[in-house]
Amino acid sequence: MEKKKLNVGIIGHRFMGKAHSNAWLKAPLFFDLDAHPILKTACARSEDELSVFAKTWGWESTETDWRKVVEDPEIDIVDISTPTHLHFDMAVAAAENGKHVFCEKPLALSKAQSEEMLRIAESNKVVHYVNHNYRRTPAVMLAKKMIDEGQLGQIYHWRGCYQQDWIVDPEFPLTWQLQKEYAMAGPHWDLNSHSVDLALFLVGPIQEVSCITSHFIKERPLPGVGAKAFTSGSQASAEKGTVTVEDASLMMVRFTNGAVGSFEATRFATGRKNHNTFEIYGSKGSIRFDLERMNELEYFNREDPAELQGFRTIMVTESTHPYLSHWWPPGHIIGYEHAFVHAVADFITAVSKGSSIHPNFEDGVKIMSVLEAALQAAESGSRTSVK
């Protein structure tokens, strides 16, 4: 029997546009899905860049007006791969037009925006998802299984750290990620949103926060044509503008279950390109994950005999591990792009079955609540409750 087809419209064509396009292509090749995604329409402002993008990834048509994409009756799914400040209008319009929404993170510029996105998505009964894709690495899913089964016992500590270095050069231009009106905050919003999602997923709700932030470089050259994140030598002009977001954030939290945690987010960790790690310590054992070694999970079992105790490295590459049966033989590692494929596969399944998927906009509200409370705590210099 021929599978149902789901027409996808993607808005955005750069880093995330490529990562998402690859996932829409690969998911039906490796997963036995109930429906088949069709790369229907790609949307971006630059016609020349869009034409090359669409041809490269196999999108059937192009459009420079995103509203026409979300209003197109042939489109079933809208994939929002744009800068953060555009998410709210696009997601709301897509949901109001009955489209299922696959949205890049951070979800929005505020808790209030995310709450409205959730309300409209729910009232229109569409599937909604925010792409904190690191949940879907097999090692993180194994960590979740171990915690749920009680293998770590009572959780005492979370230690999260997300470090990059792509703006250490003071001549790096003032891209949108460094401007509050487009990004809301710096690494605290962008990087910590991933870390907070993982903490909520693995440890549980956060009830109060304290935070400090720092600005290391307060002015940068204005961006020239083609200036973009992660790119050394990005074009810049001689004129300078003000950096309006923090360069680093240090946050401490108390979880509802009594555990305490710390979060570090920075783009000034020289030598670190995408260093996303967490450690969880419990009464029975501990685990540690490092995205740069994403096929491994370090595990300490306090109940092992004393002479055998020590951190062991679990290679999360067996067919019994989450998602791995869809890929290669045991021992053959997977990479960064696979978490996106897993997210798309799960999203298509949710759309096909009329079920929900996590993290969704409700989870996004919870993440925004923590991040927003932390910024308030940094400004006031006192602990702040997460509402």
* The pLDDT value given to residue 231: 64
Cα–Cα distance measured from residue 71 to residue 315, given in angstroms and rounded to the nearest whole number: 46
Same domain, 126 and 155: no
Same domain, 222 and 309: yes
Is residue 15 one of the residues assigned to a domain? Answer: yes
Of 132, 166, 181, the one marking the end of a domain is 132
The 10s digit of each residue's pLDDT in 218-241 is 999 998 766 667 665 566 677 999
Same domain, 198 and 115: no
Q: How many domains does the chain have?
A: 2
Give the relative orientation of helices 15-30 and 336-353 as an angle to the nearest 10 degrees.
Answer: 60
Is residue 78 one of the residues assigned to a domain? Answer: yes
Q: Could you tell me the residue range of the domain that residue 100 belongs to?
A: 4-132
Is residue 385 one of the residues assigned to a domain? Answer: no
Pair of tokens at residue 42: 């790609």
Same domain, 185 and 329: yes
What pLDDT band is residue 201 in, cutting at 50, 70 and 90? very high
- How far apart, in Å, are the Cα atoms of 79 and each of 4, 75, 206, 271? 19, 10, 29, 32
Is residue 387 one of the residues assigned to a domain? Answer: no
Of 116, 132, 148, the one marking the end of a domain is 132
Same domain, 91 and 184: no
**Strands of the sheet with 384-385, listed across from one edge:** 312-315, 296-301, 285-290, 275-282, 155-163, 260-266, 248-255, 206-214, 384-385
Same domain, 73 and 88: yes
* The pLDDT value given to residue 224: 75
**Comparing 1-5, 134-138, 329-333, which segment has the lowest mean pLDDT?**
1-5
Same domain, 177 and 60: no
* The pLDDT value given to residue 2: 79
Specify the 3-state DSSP secondary structure of 22.
Answer: helix
Same domain, 166 and 123: no
Cα–Cα distance measured from residue 32 to residue 217, given in angstroms and rounded to the nearest whole number: 49
Is residue 184 one of the residues assigned to a domain? Answer: yes
Same domain, 81 and 187: no
Strand partners, 220: 241
Same domain, 167 and 79: no
Residue keyed to tokens 């790119």: 231
Q: What contacts 276, CB < 8 A, 6 or more positions away?
A: 134, 161, 162, 163, 191, 194, 195, 290, 291, 292
Same domain, 205 and 229: yes
Cα–Cα distance measured from residue 37 to residue 178, given in angstroms and rounded to the nearest whole number: 35
Contact 59, 29 (CB under 8 A): no
> What is the distance in angstroms between the CA of the first residue and the CA of the last residue of the chain?
49
Same domain, 139 and 253: yes
pLDDT higher than threshold 80 for residue 1: no
CATH value at residue 41: 3.40.50.720
CATH value at residue 334: 3.30.360.10
Is 331 exposed, middle or buried (CB count within 10 Å of its CB: 0-12, 13-18, 19+)?
exposed
